[in-house]
Amino acid sequence: MTYQITKPRGIIDLGVGQPDPQLLPAALFQSSGVQRQDLAYGEEAGDRRFRTLLAEFLSQDTGLTQSLSTHAALQQGIEAEQLLITTGSSNALDLICSRYARPGDTVLVEDPTYFIALNQFAEHGLKVVAVPMDEHGLCVAALELALQQHRPAFIYTVPSYHNPTGITQPESRRQALVALAKRYQCLLVADEVYQCLYFDAAPPPPLACFDPEAPVLSIGSFSKILAPGLRLGWIQASSEVLPRLLQSALLKSGGGLAPVTSALVASLMARGEFQRFLTDLRRTLRARRDRLHHSLQARLGAQLDINCPDGGYFLWATLRDGGDASESLSAARREGVSFLAGQRFSVNDRFTASMRLCFAWYDEDELDEACVRLARALG
């Protein structure tokens, strides 16, 4: 990922999948206190007070309480003991690769998927097999076939506001995927960094809430809901899978990860400031999503199939004539706008007609201007 804190002049780059620096809450952190105990080595799973506050927040915020009435087998709440603190979701994925896979093993992913996860799998020497998606996410029948053919180390999925398509798996799809993981005793890794970034109702609960006997890990992060520079995230385990992660030499030697950062965020959580910030952030991102969607629809509705998400960062648009979006990219750049071409997210070089447009980095007027430029480039 290229680090960016200022927007380059002249081009509106909708390919940047990062929070707008203007929305980073610097003032909140000036008043948060760090105590002496936070400066010592901590517990391997992460600071207990922070895990307790996080468990409470997740139990309320992740759609768990709303879904309990429809799905009796769901866990009642998330416990601190189910959580392991990490330095972000990329770090969580790295830990999982180290503990659950060996070079040469296979990982099953969605097609398309988050391309940096693909890079991480490559770095661990893992083979990637892509499984098709439909409008409800990862296809169950295709996944079962792939499980039989490849006996993978784990399955990697992005269930809520998927990067890049914006798709959210409904509850029935989540249940089916978890049931498959249990039947085949194959670890299911759910990258849920956008789970708490819903604009209307919360999405169905994290995959790790569905069945205490299924091997499922849900990964979360503060990168998109507070600030990426914190490098703070977590792994939520459904069952007995956590002890194997806790055996990590990194966690044992380091006394757990990120105790000072956890203490800062814990004090924002205890005072309700984090929750208030998140509510405002959802409102801002929702308005940006609306502006991008409406402007795109008005200017390019005849040329594009638009998948408008209910949360997260990304809108996925596909050229109706099946043209190559990467070929349109140079024309777009000449007009002063950019995006990520769909092919980038596929190990099979599919999705050439699609583009991922991020609505988190720019404000509403800039997004509107981006659509004006895109319409000129594609027109």
Q: List contacts with ligand PMP (CB under 6 A).
A: 17, 88-90, 114, 158, 163, 191, 193, 221, 223, 228, 233
Cβ–Cβ under 8 Å, residues 263 and 281? no
Alpha carbon 345 to its chain's center:
14
Which of residues 17 and 259 has its CB atom nearest to ligand PMP in the complex? 17
Cβ–Cβ under 8 Å, residues 95 and 187? no
Question: What 3 state SS string does 124-186 have?
Answer: CCCEEEEEEEECCEECHHHHHHHHHHHCCCEEEECCCCCCCCCCCCCHHHHHHHHHHHHHCCC
Cα gap 338→116, rounded to integer Å: 19
Which of residues 163 and 238 has its CB atom nearest to ligand PMP in the complex? 163
Which of residues 17 and 42 has its CB atom nearest to ligand PMP in the complex? 17
Which of residues 227 and 319 has its CB atom nearest to ligand PMP in the complex? 227
Minimum distance of ligand PMP from residue 258's CB (angstroms): 12
Which of residues 169 and 328 has its CB atom nearest to ligand PMP in the complex? 169
Cα gap 24→308, rounded to integer Å: 25
Which of residues 114 and 362 has its CB atom nearest to ligand PMP in the complex? 114
Name residue 198's beta-bridge partners.
311
Minimum distance of ligand PMP from residue 17's CB (angstroms): 5
Minimum distance of ligand PMP from residue 45's CB (angstroms): 18
Name residue 236's beta-bridge partners.
83, 218
Nearest to 155 by CA among 180, 186, 195, 134: 186
Residue type present at position 74: L
Cβ–Cβ under 8 Å, residues 342 and 164? yes
Name residue 111's beta-bridge partners.
132
Which of residues 15 and 336 has its CB atom nearest to ligand PMP in the complex? 15
Minimum distance of ligand PMP from residue 229's CB (angstroms): 9
Which of residues 221 and 354 has its CB atom nearest to ligand PMP in the complex? 221
Q: Which residues contact 64 (CB under 8 A, 6 or more apart)?
A: 58, 74, 75, 77, 78, 205, 206, 209
CA distances from 111 to 145, 165, 327 (A): 15, 10, 21
Minimum distance of ligand PMP from residue 232's CB (angstroms): 8
Which of residues 82 and 91 has its CB atom nearest to ligand PMP in the complex? 91
Minimum distance of ligand PMP from residue 209's CB (angstroms): 19
End-to-end CA distance of the chain: 31
Minimum distance of ligand PMP from residue 353's CB (angstroms): 22
Minimum distance of ligand PMP from residue 46's CB (angstroms): 15
Minimum distance of ligand PMP from residue 84's CB (angstroms): 14
Which of residues 165 and 343 has its CB atom nearest to ligand PMP in the complex? 165
CA distances from 63 to 174, 190, 195 (A): 13, 16, 9
The two three-digit tokens of residue 342, written as one number = 């769909």
Q: Could you please report the per-residue DSSP string of 261-279?
A: HHHHHHHHHHTTHHHHHHH
Minimum distance of ligand PMP from residue 331's CB (angstroms): 26
